[in-house]
Amino acid sequence: MRIATFTSEGHRKVGLVSADGKTVTPLELTQGQADSGVLTLIESLAEGGSLPEAAGPPVNLIDVVLDAPLPKPRRNLWCVGRNYHAHAKELAASVFKDNAAKTDDWPIVFTKVPECVVGPHDDVLVPSEVSTQIDYEAELAVVIGKGGKNITRAAAMSHVFGYTVVNDVTARDVQMRHGQWDLGKSFDTFCPMGPWIVTADEFDGTKTRVRCWVNGELRQDGPTENMIFDIPTLIETISRGITLYPGDVIATGTPAGVGMGMSPPRYLCAGDVVRVEIDRLGAIENKFV
């Protein structure tokens, strides 16, 4: 299933996207439930509930506004730094080389605040008064279904509800200045997400590729097989002593090709359009303003 959160006739709704990607069928949820996007559905399905009935006929996707599938995740998004071999290599040769972790035994994990999530076609606000080094990071994001703590690698995939696309937008100067990365990653609108969640029965995050274009120029094109720490390892690591909940998001890191990794670095400016696409999952495209 592809489950989308969208706004139609002034109301937020949650629905199933058709196989041809042309229509979405709204599901029977209260307005309060729909306002939290797919979260209510994830929580109820994780507890063995069933899919709600259709709330009406399919509507054309071009007639609705797609929102982020989780417009405001229940808490900070978990994010993984330096998780593709080729990206680790480009960082080692960049201005960032002294800021990366000193060990390859454990993944770098940081968070972004939930309020920075915006929809798949929303504008990203460039905080020009704070940063002159805005960068893109195309990423595959895992959405947790059944929660748990101390989840083993072997059990990890049974805790995945589905997958979505995010752009882990980053202010590099702020990221490097503060030691911790959260400030440089959490500016308002710095996490475009969408266009929907593809459920884990149809897609498992392997054998796909993550691509990113800036103003139509291909900048990133990385196979997810190039990840240093795979999805089961990330779930096992993050859930060590920490309970994961239904609807938690784990952004799995970005492939090579970020603006900071270029020589000289190429950062984003107002007017730029960034498209992130993951094969068999979907695409998001956002203008920076």
Binding positions for Mg ion, rule: CB under 5 A: 137, 168, 254
d(CA 124, CA 186): 12
d(CA 121, CA 193): 9
Q: How many CB atoms neighbour CB 34 within 10 A? A: 25
Min dist CB 282 to Mg ion, Å, is 19
Structure tokens at 271: 């007017």
Cβ nearer to Mg ion, comparing 239 with 254: 254
d(CA 281, CA 258): 21
Q: Is 102 exposed, middle or buried (0-12, 13-18, 19+ CB in 10 A)?
A: exposed
Give the nearest residue (CB) to Mg ion: 168
Min dist CB 161 to Mg ion, Å, is 21
DSSP annotation of 273 reads E
Cβ nearer to Mg ion, comparing 190 with 203: 190
Cβ nearer to Mg ion, comparing 23 with 170: 170
Residue 19, phi then psi, degrees to nearest 5 = -60, -35
d(CA 162, CA 151): 17
Min dist CB 209 to Mg ion, Å, is 16
193: nearest Cα among 104, 80, 90, 276: 276
Cβ nearer to Mg ion, comparing 137 with 248: 137
d(CA 44, CA 92): 44
Structure tokens at 146: 């059944």
d(CA 24, CA 13): 10
Min dist CB 212 to Mg ion, Å, is 12
Cβ nearer to Mg ion, comparing 24 with 109: 109
Min dist CB 79 to Mg ion, Å, is 5
Cβ nearer to Mg ion, comparing 159 with 172: 172
Min dist CB 46 to Mg ion, Å, is 26
Min dist CB 254 to Mg ion, Å, is 5
Asked whether 134 and 174 are in contact (CB, 8 A), the reply is no
Cβ nearer to Mg ion, comparing 17 with 91: 91
